């Protein structure tokens, strides 16, 4: 900024009008007022104003003298000399024009004005009837009013220009789909508009209490990570208020350790908070070293406007990047993990059915033992359907407490319950136009079943604590390892919901009924894990192949996959021998070692007793390690605990 700013007060144009009406060089006042209305920079205004004064007053030279940083600064700064400092100081003290030698000095003293003096070399010609001092005193007051009007016009012009620039920048920013180029573009725009040396956008990582600054010039990787209590930017984050500082006024507040790390010297700082569209603090925007001096109020307003626009654009870009990453993950999953491996008649029939079902919007119920691939089949349906570009959202109904299930599925509004600090979309909204996979649907509470049925029938969700209906076009695929028909007969599952979900039923065969698919799957998993382990693919010996065929695979495909992962990472060298399959050997007990159930019991009671004894023996064998127990039984840990509660067993740590 110029060292010759003015600070106009309200009502200055009226003072100018009185000056003109008073008859003080009418032509001069009109010319200066017209010049002020152009909105020129202070340097341009004073250059032209001093030239007009020299011409109209018929003096040899005119200078603007400003007391700044303990010395008098002359404008324009050129040859021709200047009045003595004593004369300038005397004029300011007495607040009236004075002459010494060839120089006249005129104070420019509006209310709250700065230490400025108009110096004229030569004696001006006043209008008839006025003395020189009387005329110059009136001239100084009028000139200061005109200068204030010029500054007001300049601020208006600058604001219009800034808003137009921001509008154009916002348009360009919204066309940028990647975060890093956008951060650089925003920082460059701020330095240009504020005439600053550097700019950094600090994004706030709340979880780690860290500020991530990008772009950070001079720092490896163009990224700066500092604690969120560091320096000026830390104050802005915690107070949510703008801060300005320079070397003279706030040297203790500027963090010099960062300067030392990057080989930079911070002279002045302006930092403002950045708020997201929902009002949450998103980060802070900081500019350094105003090239013409220090940052002022106008700079603070300008940076706040830039930060407001930038925060919205950055947040939108971040969301677009997140969606792009999600789409990439789905594409990778489609190309690798989401595949039905096998050539048995059951799998070929299932693949044919999937192709037909995928092209419809019918509800699908996937049945099968744990580990048979119910989620894999559901993802395959989604990725082969017209909804493949929309989200696939999986929910394990057994892993969510009954009190939270409604909030998870349908979302909630801010303040709906104690911990609802902000509004949150539910799984139905997140899966909009895509597929919602409800695993372990048989474990859903009666209340949850009723609300789910209403959504499936009306295709409308209402957030907890809200009243606005939200339309949902989400395909639902449900899965369970339980006998839903039996649960319906026992009044544990709603009959109307069962028929609503049971439009298409897919029964997944257990691995023990898929013949040589066990070898095909074993080789597939083994190749994949050996590649990840960066070793050559292990071969499976003939004896080991026979052991794989003979095993009953209670954990189905999941059990086989876990075994191949262990072998790929832990087996010192190949080929895989029968004795290397210790995991299978542990579960392949003789008839004498297996839990026994006496004859004569009803089938339901016998089944419950067998499950209880089988889990107890597995817990004992695993030394109480419930994660290992769940793995051996082919269950998720949460499902294991649920099953134990159903059986009336004591939960172990």
3-state SS assignment for residue 496:
helix
Residue 550 pairs in a beta bridge with none
Do residues 436 and 303 share a domain?
A: no
Asked if the model's pLDDT at residue 488 lies above 70, the reply is: yes
Do residues 239 and 317 share a domain?
A: yes
Average pLDDT of the segment spanning 166-170: 62
CATH number at residue 580: 1.10.8.60
Neighbours of 288 (CB within 10 A): 23
pLDDT, tens digit (0-9, with 9 covering 90-100), for 296-343: 888 888 888 888 877 877 777 665 555 455 555 545 555 445 678 888
The total number of residues written for the chain in this structure: 653
Do residues 606 and 578 share a domain?
A: no
Do residues 100 and 30 share a domain?
A: yes
Asked if the model's pLDDT at residue 98 lies above 50, the reply is: yes
Name which of 305, 228, 315, 306 is nearest 280 in CA terms.
Answer: 315
Biggest distance spanned by C-alpha atoms of the chain: 133
The pLDDT score that the predictor gives to residue 437 is: 93
The span from the CA of 530 to the CA of 336, in Å, is: 15
The pLDDT score that the predictor gives to residue 585 is: 46
CATH number at residue 149: 3.30.450
Instruction: Confirm whether 463 is domain-assigned.
Output: yes
Average pLDDT of the segment spanning 488-513: 91
594: Cβ contacts below 8 Å, ≥ 6 apart: 614
- Strands ordered across the beta sheet of 281-290: 224-227, 210-214, 196-205, 281-290, 268-275, 243-246
Q: Is the peptide bond before 76 cis (omega within 30 degrees of 0)?
A: yes
Instruction: Confirm whether 5 is domain-assigned.
Output: no
DSSP per position, 230-299? SHHHHHHHHH-S-EEEETTT-TTTS-HHHHHHHT----EEEEEEEE-TTS-EEEEEEEEEETTS---HHH
Do residues 191 and 313 share a domain?
A: yes
Residue 67 pairs in a beta bridge with 72
Residue entry with tokens 């004859």? 599
Instruction: Confirm whether 103 is domain-assigned.
Output: yes
Asked if the model's pLDDT at residue 538 lies above 50, the reply is: yes
Contacts of 217-224 spanning 24+ positions with Cβ under 8 A: 217/262, 218/262, 218/263, 218/264, 219/261, 219/262, 224/200, 224/258, 224/262
pLDDT interval class at 6 (50, 70, 90): very low
Average pLDDT of the segment spanning 187-211: 80
Average pLDDT of the segment spanning 341-347: 88
Average pLDDT of the segment spanning 563-576: 87
Do residues 345 and 311 share a domain?
A: no
Least confident of 61-70, 83-92, 354-363, 424-433: 61-70
Asked if the model's pLDDT at residue 446 lies above 90, the reply is: no
Least confident of 158-172, 371-385, 566-580: 158-172
Do residues 467 and 384 share a domain?
A: yes
Least confident of 146-150, 239-243, 522-526: 146-150
Neighbours of 383 (CB within 10 A): 20
The pLDDT score that the predictor gives to residue 108 is: 83
Last residue of a domain, which of 534, 562, 588? 588
pLDDT interval class at 522 (50, 70, 90): very high
Neighbours of 418 (CB within 10 A): 6
Last residue of a domain, which of 588, 603, 629? 588
The pLDDT score that the predictor gives to residue 495 is: 92
CATH number at residue 308: 3.30.450.40
Q: What are phi and psi of 393, to 5 degrees?
A: -115, 125
Q: What are phi and psi of 438, to 5 degrees?
A: -105, 100
The pLDDT score that the predictor gives to residue 22 is: 44
Instruction: Confirm whether 167 is domain-assigned.
Output: no
Least confident of 245-249, 388-392, 435-439: 245-249
Least confident of 152-166, 240-254, 447-461, 586-600: 586-600
Do residues 381 and 457 share a domain?
A: yes
The pLDDT score that the predictor gives to residue 520 is: 92
Could you give the C-alpha distances from 548 to 373, 517, 543, in angstroms and in order?
19, 10, 9
The pLDDT score that the predictor gives to residue 239 is: 92
The span from the CA of 522 to the CA of 539, in Å, is: 10
Which pTM does this prediction carry? 0.45
- Which one is predicted more confidently, 521 or 76? 521
Asked if the model's pLDDT at residue 469 lies above 90, the reply is: no
pLDDT, tens digit (0-9, with 9 covering 90-100), for 241-299: 999 887 665 456 676 766 676 667 788 889 999 888 778 888 898 888 887 777 888 88
627: Cβ contacts below 8 Å, ≥ 6 apart: 637
DSSP per position, 264-283? ----EEEEEEEE-TTS-EEE
Name which of 229, 321, 246, 322 is nearest 284 in CA terms.
Answer: 229
* % of the chain with per-residue pLDDT over 90: 12
The span from the CA of 108 to the CA of 208, in Å, is: 55
The pLDDT score that the predictor gives to residue 13 is: 46
pLDDT interval class at 79 (50, 70, 90): low
The pLDDT score that the predictor gives to residue 23 is: 44
Q: What are phi and psi of 158, to 5 degrees?
A: -65, -40
Least confident of 232-246, 335-349, 492-506: 335-349
Instruction: Confirm whether 352 is domain-assigned.
Output: yes
Instruction: Confirm whether 347 is domain-assigned.
Output: yes
* Total of domains in the chain: 5
Q: Regarding beta strands 475-480 and 364-367, do their DSSP bridges make them parallel or antiparallel, or are they unpaired?
A: parallel
Asked if the model's pLDDT at residue 55 lies above 50, the reply is: yes
Do residues 497 and 516 share a domain?
A: no
The span from the CA of 367 to the CA of 333, in Å, is: 22
How does DSSP classify residue 512? G
CATH number at residue 604: 1.10.10.60
Whether 66 contacts 108, CB under 8 Å? no
The pLDDT score that the predictor gives to residue 496 is: 92
The pLDDT score that the predictor gives to residue 24 is: 44
Least confident of 171-185, 192-206, 460-474, 634-648: 171-185
Do residues 355 and 466 share a domain?
A: yes
* % of the chain with per-residue pLDDT over 70: 75
Mean pLDDT rounded to a whole number for the chain: 78
The pLDDT score that the predictor gives to residue 179 is: 62
The pLDDT score that the predictor gives to residue 497 is: 92
The pLDDT score that the predictor gives to residue 154 is: 62
The pLDDT score that the predictor gives to residue 519 is: 93
How does DSSP classify residue 540? B
For residue 585 the two structure tokens come to 């050997």
The span from the CA of 18 to the CA of 620, in Å, is: 101
For residue 276 the two structure tokens come to 């997201």
pLDDT, tens digit (0-9, with 9 covering 90-100), for 12-32: 344 444 444 444 444 455 566
The span from the CA of 388 to the CA of 373, in Å, is: 19
Name which of 479, 494, 556 is nearest 525 in CA terms.
Answer: 556
The pLDDT score that the predictor gives to residue 365 is: 93
Average pLDDT of the segment spanning 55-59: 80
Could you give the C-alpha distances from 34 to 17, 64, 407, 434, 623, in angstroms and in order?
12, 20, 66, 65, 93
Name which of 113, 110, 107, 112 is nearest 94 in CA terms.
Answer: 107
The pLDDT score that the predictor gives to residue 216 is: 63
Last residue of a domain, which of 588, 615, 641? 588
The pLDDT score that the predictor gives to residue 11 is: 39
Average pLDDT of the segment spanning 63-90: 80
The pLDDT score that the predictor gives to residue 582 is: 64
Instruction: Confirm whether 2 is domain-assigned.
Output: no
CATH number at residue 407: 3.40.50.300
Q: What's the domain range around 567?
A: 510-588
Do residues 53 and 130 share a domain?
A: yes
3-state DSSP of 326-355 = HHHHHHHHHHCCCCCCCCCHHHHHHHHHHH
Q: What is the CA radius of gyration of the chain?
A: 40
The pLDDT score that the predictor gives to residue 623 is: 67
Instruction: Confirm whether 542 is domain-assigned.
Output: yes
DSSP per position, 44-96? HHHHHHHHHHHHHHT-SEEEEEEEETTEEEEES-SSS----HHHHHHHHHHTS
Do residues 298 and 353 share a domain?
A: no
Average pLDDT of the segment spanning 412-421: 80
For residue 381 the two structure tokens come to 């349906």
Whether 104 contacts 123, CB under 8 Å? yes
The pLDDT score that the predictor gives to residue 185 is: 76
Burial of 400 (0-12, 13-18, 19+ CB in 10 A): buried
The pLDDT score that the predictor gives to residue 227 is: 84
The helix (H) or strand (E) run that includes residue 103 is strand 103-108
């Amino acid at each position: 900024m110029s060292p010759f700013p003015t600070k106009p007060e309200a009502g200055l144009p009226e003072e100018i009008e009185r000056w003109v009406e008073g008859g003080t060089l009418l032509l001069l006042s009109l010319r200066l007022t017209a010049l002020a209305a152009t909105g020129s920079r202070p340097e341009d205004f004073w250059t032209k104003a001093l030239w007009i004064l020299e011409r109209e007053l018929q003096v040899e030279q005119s200078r603007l003298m400003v007391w700044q940083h303990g010395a008098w600064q002359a404008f324009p700064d050129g040859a021709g000399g200047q009045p003595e400092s004593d004369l300038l100081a005397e004029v300011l003290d007495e607040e009236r024009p004075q002459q010494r030698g060839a120089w006249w000095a005129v104070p420019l003293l509006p209310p709250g004005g700065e230490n400025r003096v108009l110096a004229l070399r030569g004696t001006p010609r006043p209008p008839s009837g006025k003395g020189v001092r009387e005329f110059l005193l009136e001239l100084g007051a009028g000139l200061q009013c005109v200068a204030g009007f010029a500054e007001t016009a300049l601020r208006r012009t600058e604001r219009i220009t800034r808003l137009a620039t921001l509008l154009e920048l916002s348009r360009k920013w919204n066309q940028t789909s990647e975060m890093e180029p956008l951060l650089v573009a925003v920082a460059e725009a701020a330095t240009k508009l504020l005439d600053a040396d550097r700019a950094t956008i600090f994004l706030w990582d709340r979880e780690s209490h860290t500020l991530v600054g990008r772009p950070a010039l001079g720092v490896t990787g163009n990224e700066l990570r500092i604690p969120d209590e560091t320096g000026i930017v830390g104050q802005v984050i915690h107070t949510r208020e703008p801060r300005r500082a320079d070397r003279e006024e706030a040297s203790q507040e500027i963090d010099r350790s960062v300067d030392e790390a990057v080989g930079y010297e911070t002279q002045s700082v302006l930092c403002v908070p950045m708020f997201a569209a929902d009002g949450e603090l998103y980060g802070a925007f900081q500019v350094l070293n105003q090239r013409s001096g220090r940052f002022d109020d106008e700079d603070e307003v300008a940076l706040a406007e830039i930060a407001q626009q930038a925060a919205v654009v950055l947040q939108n870009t971040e969301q677009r990047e997140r969606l792009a990453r999600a789409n990439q993950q789905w594409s990778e999953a489609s190309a690798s993990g989401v595949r039905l491996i096998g050539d048995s008649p059951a799998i070929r029939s299932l693949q044919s059915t999937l192709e037909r079902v995928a092209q419809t919007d019918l509800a699908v119920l996937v049945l099968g033992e744990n580990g048979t691939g119910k989620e894999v089949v559901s993802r395959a349906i989604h990725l082969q359907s017209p909804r493949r570009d929309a989200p696939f959202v999986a929910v394990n109904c057994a892993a969510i407490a009954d009190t939270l299930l409604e909030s998870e599925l349908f979302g909630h509004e801010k303040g709906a319950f104690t911990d609802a600090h902000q509004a949150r979309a539910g799984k139905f909204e997140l899966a909009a136009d895509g597929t919602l996979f409800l695993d372990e649907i048989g474990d859903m509470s009666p209340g949850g079943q009723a609300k789910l049925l209403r959504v499936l029938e009306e295709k409308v969700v209402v957030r907890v604590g809200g009243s606005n209906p939200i339309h949902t076009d989400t395909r639902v695929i449900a899965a369970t390892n339980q006998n839903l028909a039996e649960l319906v007969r026992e009044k544990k599952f709603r009959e109307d919901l069962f028929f609503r979900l049971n439009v298409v039923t897919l029964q997944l065969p257990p691995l023990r009924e898929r013949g040589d698919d066990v070898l095909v799957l074993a080789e597939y998993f083994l190749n994949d894990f050996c590649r990840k382990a960066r070793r050559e693919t292990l071969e499976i010996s003939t004896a080991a192949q026979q052991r794989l065929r003979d095993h009953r695979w209670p954990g189905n495909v999941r059990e086989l996959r876990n075994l191949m992962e262990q072998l790929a990472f832990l087996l010192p060298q190949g080929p895989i021998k029968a004795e290397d399959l210790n995991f299978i050997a542990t579960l392949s007990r003789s008839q004498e070692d297996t839990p026994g159930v006496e004859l004569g019991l009803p089938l339901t009671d016998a089944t419950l007793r067998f499950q209880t004894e089988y889990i107890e023996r597995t817990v004992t064998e695993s030394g109480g390690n419930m994660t290992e127990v769940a793995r051996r039984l082919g269950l998720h840990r949460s499902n294991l605990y649920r099953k134990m509660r159903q059986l009336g067993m004591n939960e172990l740590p």
